[in-house]
Structure 1
Amino acid sequence: MQTMAAVQKQKSSVQFLPVNLFASVMGISGLSLAWRQASKLFGTSPVIADIIGIVAVLVFVALSIGYISKWVLYPQKVKDEFAHPVLGFFFGTITISILLLSSVIGAYSEISGQVIWVIGIVPTFALSFVIVTRLLNGNHEPGNAVPALLIPVVGTINIAVTGGTMPFPWAHEINLLSLAIGGIVALVFLSLILSRLIHQAPLPAGSTPSMMIMIAPFEVGFLGYTNFEQRIDPFASILYYFGLFLFIVLFFKVFKKSIPFGASWWAVGFPMAALSNAALKYAMFVHSWLLIAISAVVLALLSIVLVVLFIRTINMLFKGSLLKG
């Protein structure tokens, strides 16, 4: 009995904390930024954005403590996760979370936001270099060209999303570099992913939510490009509209009762948050009742989805199933 109890105790451990849970910070941070924009468009209270921002910071701190503990206590587990041909891509959720939190915290303290942004750009570029180098080593299975492939490298666009107004004299070139890397790589990686999805077997049910990541290059690209240019032009509009179209297509493929709930569901959070922020920004630019209505629907949908994900994740944690091998 004691042996069985020990085995059961071992099964629920920080060593099984998945790195992809940092996607929750991305989604919650994006929701906070979206509600901050909504306060300008709809006149909603900025307190909503403040509360959600605090939750994002707390979740990041909790996950950071947990994952650092995993790194210290079970370093081989972290190494194996990073070296995994698919799971390794999710380390980009950590660097993107830092960048997004720079905008969340920057709303209260510009200096703090700037410091966090500078801290975030270093590992973001470093991870992009490592992932691209690893891919160019060859001998990779075509089946591993999954949507998560977009996270670490295309995630560099978030540097421009969060740093478009940074006052540093070198920020302009850094933002341009991030758009160059993320934008060009997005074209290549999306081609690989679409080829895999079209010509090979469908993704496993547990990985299906990650398909929503494919809208991120367009909506994050829209936000990064418009922040960099400080204007919305036809190219930006094309990015926004195609991302919206792709979201509608993927929505009916992802949100199915047959897909089991797990940490992988957080993959839908940030892409939807990016779409919401883009929709709000575009609606404020065009001043069309239809686009304003679309932005309201997307924001409401995003809020509902993230609340459900948050509650179900906490429920899994208390039941002990979140950290089981």
Structure 2
Amino acid sequence: MEGKDKESTLQYLPVNLFGSVMGLSGLALAWRESHHMFGTYLFISDAIGCLAILVFIVLGITYLSKLVLFPKIVKAEFHNPIAGNFFGTITIAILLLSSVISAYSQAMQQVVWTIGVILTLLIACIIIRRLLNVKQDFKHAVPAWLIPGVGTLDVVVAGGTMPLTWAREVNLLCFGIGSILALVFFTLIFSRLMHHDAMPDKLTPSLIILIAPFEVGFLSYVNFTQRIDAFASILFYFGLFMFVVLFSKVFKRGLPFGASWWAVSFPMAALSNAAFLYADFVNNWPLKSIAGLILLLLTLVIATLFIRTFIYLTKGQLLKP
């Protein structure tokens, strides 16, 4: 009986839990930047990176089991106008893990990145095609819509300097796709938030995704062009501004905890990595202090999310309808 109960909870495993891999990978990369700027211990980045890989393997095996045992449920999740966008977190996680792996094996990095590129472009095509083929309810225009499009920008974040002969054009393709999609969807989502009812409480944490097009856009632009100019600065500062505006709307008492909270992790991680890159370019202590504070806040948030997720999982409160 106990075995059946455990098996039945598998059907409630949400795909957005892959956001935890994105957050952990981004945190590992941010601590790597901290090592270069502040001389913090490199093993912190290594340990978090290994944890990200482990979590991805566990989630990957578990979600594949869900696909085998409950294919109709996975299909329904994929076709859901909101939840379906979170399948992009799987491909983004693969791309970010390629950056984590880069410190240990460039050959493995290139293999993982290539897989991530193919899957990211495939997901983007499927999701955008579905949005155009089916009439959309405007209340479904939520920050999660940004994930498949921003995912193509992550191709450039992870592979902007990839030494493969075909990588430059693929990066340019993905940068073009991600930039325009981010602009279009950000406008739609911002309009929906201004003129329609507020999103349900369980989706409120996803508001932080609104900073992703700017901070991920900053990282991808800088990685591809290998320079920080006025346009890059505008992207960084507007993303930082949006984070300050949205912080009090998301991190407030009374919001229920669930897997959806992992949506805050990677946008904050992108902000942290962008802050380190920009502070290193400007080379002044106020910006370096901001980078350090954002990293500490990110670490606290992800540690809290990880602990609460583990507690909710062991208590059987995470995987339930």
Normalization by structure 2: what TM-score?
0.98
Aligned residue for 1:224, secondary structure, equals helix
| Alignment of 1:130 onto 2:126 | yes
Distance 1:138 1:111 in 2: 41
Give, in whole Å, the separation in 2 of the partners of 1:191 and 1:114.
Answer: 34
Counterpart of 2:253, as a letter, is K
Q: 1:47-196 residue pairs with structure 2 within 5 A?
A: 47-196=43-192
Q: Give the aligned partner of residue 244 of structure 1.
A: 240
Distance in 1 separating the partners of 2:54 and 2:222: 30
Give the match for residue 311 of structure 2. Answer: 315
Task: Confirm or deny that 1:37 pairs with 2:29.
Answer: no
Measure how far apart 1:13 and its partner are: 1.4
Q: Take 1:253 and 1:26, find their aligned partners in 2: how far apart are those partners?
A: 22
> Aligned equivalents of 1:311 and 1:154: distance in 2?
28
Match for residue 306 of structure 1 among 299, 302, 305: 302
Q: Which residue of 1 aligns with 2:42?
A: 46
For the 8 Å contact 1:32–1:50, the answer to whether it is kept is yes
Unaligned runs of 5+ residues in structure 1 are none
Q: Distance in 1 between matches of 2:272 and 2:53?
A: 20
Give the match for residue 260 of structure 2. Answer: 264
Q: Aligned equivalents of 2:128 and 2:98: distance in 1? A: 25
| Deviation, structure 1 residue 12 | 5.3
- Give the Cα separation in 2 of the matches to 1:248 and 1:144: 25
Q: Which amino acid aligns with 2:131?
A: L
Partner-residue secondary structure (3-state), 2:104: coil
Quote the Cα distance in structure 2 between the aligned partners of 1:87 and 1:193. Answer: 16
Q: For the residues of structure 2 that align with 1:324 and 1:205, how far apart are their CA atoms?
A: 17
Which residues of structure 2 form unaligned runs of 5+? none
Aligned partners of 1:148, 1:223: CA distance in 2, in Å? 20
- Equivalent position amino acid for 1:34 in 2: A
Deviation at 1:165, TM superposition (A): 1.3
Aligned ranges 1:199-214 → 2 under 5 Å? 199-214=195-210
Aligned-partner Cα distance in 2 for 1:307–1:12: 28
Residue 138 of structure 1, CA deviation: 3.5
- How many Å apart are 1:204 and its aligned residue? 0.7
Read off the aligned partner of 1:17 and give its amino acid letter.
L
Return the letter of the residue paired with 2:40. Answer: T
Give yes or no for contact 1:93–1:151 (8 Å, CA) kept in 2: yes
Counterpart Cα distance in 1 of 2:135 and 2:226: 42
**Within 2, Cα distance between the matches of 1:84 and 1:262?**
18
Say which SS state the counterpart of residue 133 (structure 2) adopts. Answer: coil
Q: Tell me if the contact between 1:127 and 1:153 (Cα under 8 Å) persists in the aligned partners.
A: no
- Where does structure 1 differ by over 6 angstroms across 4 or more consecutive aligned residues? none
Q: Alignment identity in percent?
A: 59
